[in-house]
């Protein structure tokens, strides 16, 4: 038996599209910030007395279909370790699920860590990153803390995450504006595939990401939060343009998403630098330097309510312990 805790990450340069659905190999590189406030804690116990894997998330037992991705990761662990036993999996999310807040990233990173340790495997973080990727692409980055790059690679062995700056030594923070924490109607997997196969603009996306990756790495080297924010905001808008231009077109935005984006632009117009990003969901994440936290929080609290704002700092990498 083993337990792992992994934190969510929010992509500054987006992962949007796979070139291999089974291995979950991405079309492009990506870069993210791991957050301290959102995380998943998972315990795995391999037990010969079980007839099949048993998966409980936030107190709810999942049926076999709902837990199929969990079973898939457990099967990979069993293949690597030689174990044949079914497993108890008990997971608690400190992040809303399927709401564009990267719950799958923390969930599958924690599952990979706990399952591999419980099975007696001693995987290094690169191997853990590859294993987590097989459950959810973004989970590959949640093995590490701070600023993390996912190298797209060309096969299973070469597609993994690596840290850019685990101990973030400058003032970048994120503030989540919780627009809607309900499960989204269009899953990330379906949305990505629709964008890849039907958007007439997808063919230019890889070149955009290559350009943005080079630019944001330079901004990180310079500890330039405003440059990081500008690049991340533009990259997010271009990602969401792919969903709007798919056939049929769709969006993860709600009216309040647009309101939040405009509120952040208004703060910039007032001389308070801050920028936004959104993943596959309606919730908006604000990127800013911590010295500007108070006026940003005050302005957004007045509009959305303080209870809908969560301040997040750069978070740690995965933690694993034996029970």
Strand, helix or coil at 169?
coil
- pLDDT, mean of residues 162-189: 92
Tens-place pLDDT, residues 16-26: 999 999 999 99
Instruction: Write down how long the chain is.
Output: 323
Does 118 lie in the same domain as 189? no
- pLDDT, mean of residues 209-224: 98
pLDDT of residue 182 exceeding 90: no
- pLDDT, mean of residues 185-212: 95
Q: Is the pTM of this model over 0.75?
A: yes
- pLDDT, mean of residues 155-177: 97
Q: Give the confidence band of 96 by pLDDT, cuts at 50, 70, 90.
A: low
Tokens 């998966």 sit on residue: 55
- pLDDT, mean of residues 172-186: 89
308: left (phi over 0), alpha (psi -120 to 50) or beta: alpha
pLDDT of residue 157 exceeding 80: yes
Does 151 lie in the same domain as 13? yes
Largest CA distance in the chain: 64
Tell me, yes or no, whether 205 lies in a domain.
yes
pLDDT at 184: 81
Does 76 lie in the same domain as 199? no
Tell me, yes or no, whether 322 lies in a domain.
no
Does 159 lie in the same domain as 220? no
Whole-number Å distance between alpha carbons of 281 and 298: 24
Does 205 lie in the same domain as 138? no
Q: What domain count does the chain have?
A: 2
pLDDT at 101: 59
pLDDT at 103: 82
Instruction: Supply φ then ψ for residue 220, to 5 degrees.
Output: -65, -45
- pLDDT, mean of residues 227-254: 97
* 51 CB burial (10 A radius; 0-12, 13-18, 19+): exposed
Tens-place pLDDT, residues 284-303: 999 999 999 999 999 999 99
Q: Give the confidence band of 102 by pLDDT, cuts at 50, 70, 90.
A: low
**Tell me, what CATH number does 110's domain have?**
3.30.230.10
Does 198 lie in the same domain as 161? no
For residue 8, which of 125, 172, 167, 176 has the smallest C-alpha distance? Answer: 176
- pLDDT, mean of residues 160-166: 98
Tell me, yes or no, whether 321 lies in a domain.
no
Tell me, yes or no, whether 64 lies in a domain.
yes
Whole-number Å distance between alpha carbons of 152 and 33: 17
pLDDT of residue 152 exceeding 50: yes
**Tell me, what CATH number does 213's domain have?**
3.30.70.890
Does 193 lie in the same domain as 302? yes
Does 289 lie in the same domain as 187? yes
Tell me, yes or no, whether 319 lies in a domain.
no
Q: Which of 153, 168, 183 is the last residue of a domain?
A: 168
Does 156 lie in the same domain as 62? yes
pLDDT of residue 164 exceeding 80: yes
pLDDT at 64: 87
CA distances from 1 to 40, 103, 115, 130 (A): 17, 23, 8, 21
Q: Which of 137, 168, 199 is the last residue of a domain?
A: 168
Question: Omega into 246 within 30° of 0, i.e. cis?
Answer: no
pLDDT at 98: 47
For residue 139, which of 147, 123, 128 has the smallest C-alpha distance? Answer: 128
- pLDDT, mean of residues 253-274: 97
Does 190 lie in the same domain as 143? no
Tell me, yes or no, whether 41 lies in a domain.
yes
Strand partners, 173: 288
Q: Give the confidence band of 245 by pLDDT, cuts at 50, 70, 90.
A: very high
Mean pLDDT of the chain: 95
Which residue range(s) make up the domain with 132? 2-168
Tell me, yes or no, whether 304 lies in a domain.
yes
Residue % of the chain over a pLDDT of 90: 91
Tell me, yes or no, whether 34 lies in a domain.
yes
Residue % of the chain over a pLDDT of 70: 98
Q: Give the confidence band of 94 by pLDDT, cuts at 50, 70, 90.
A: confident
Q: Give the confidence band of 255 by pLDDT, cuts at 50, 70, 90.
A: very high
- pLDDT, mean of residues 187-215: 96
pLDDT of residue 2 exceeding 50: yes
Does 306 lie in the same domain as 199? yes
Q: Report the range of poorest mean pLDDT among 132-141, 172-181, 299-308.
A: 172-181
Does 140 lie in the same domain as 117? yes
For residue 147, which of 70, 211, 217 has the smallest C-alpha distance? Answer: 217
Q: Which of 144, 168, 192 is the last residue of a domain?
A: 168
């Amino acid at each position: 038996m083993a337990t792992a805790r992994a934190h969510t990450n929010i992509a500054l340069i987006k992962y949007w599209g796979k070139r291999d659905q089974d291995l979950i190999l991405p079309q492009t590189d990506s870069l993210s910030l791991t957050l301290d406030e959102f995380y998943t804690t998972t315990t795995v116990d391999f037990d010969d007395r079980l007839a099949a894997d048993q998966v409980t998330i936030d107190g709810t037992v999942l049926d076999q279909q709902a837990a199929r991705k969990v079973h898939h990761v457990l099967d990979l662990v069993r293949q690597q370790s030689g174990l044949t036993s079914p497993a108890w999996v008990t997971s608690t999310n400190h992040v809303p699920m399927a709401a564009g807040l990267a719950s799958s990233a923390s969930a599958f990173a924690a599952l990979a860590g706990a399952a591999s340790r419980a099975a007696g495997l001693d995987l290094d973080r690169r191997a853990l990153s590859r294993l987590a990727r097989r459950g959810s692409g973004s989970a590959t980055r949640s093995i590490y803390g701070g600023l993390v790059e996912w190298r797209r690679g060309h096969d299973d062995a070469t597609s993994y995450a690596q840290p850019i700056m685990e101990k973030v030594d400058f003032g970048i923070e994120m503030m989540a504006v919780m627009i809607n924490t309900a499960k989204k109607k269009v899953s990330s997997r379906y949305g990505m595939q629709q964008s890849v196969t039907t958007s007439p603009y997808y063919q230019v996306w890889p070149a955009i990401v290559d350009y943005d990756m080079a630019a944001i790495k330079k901004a990180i080297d310079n500890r330039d939060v405003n440059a990081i924010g500008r690049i991340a905001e533009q990259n997010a808008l271009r990602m969401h343009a792919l969903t709007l231009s798919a056939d049929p077109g769709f969006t993860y935005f709600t009216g309040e998403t647009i309101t939040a984006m405009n509120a952040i632009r208004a703060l910039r117009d007032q001389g308070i630098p801050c920028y936004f990003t959104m993943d596959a969901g309606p919730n908006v994440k604000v990127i800013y330097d911590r010295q500007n936290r108070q006026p940003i929080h005050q302005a957004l609290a007045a509009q959305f309510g303080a209870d809908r704002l969560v301040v997040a700092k750069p978070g740690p990498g995965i933690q694993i312990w034996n029970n």
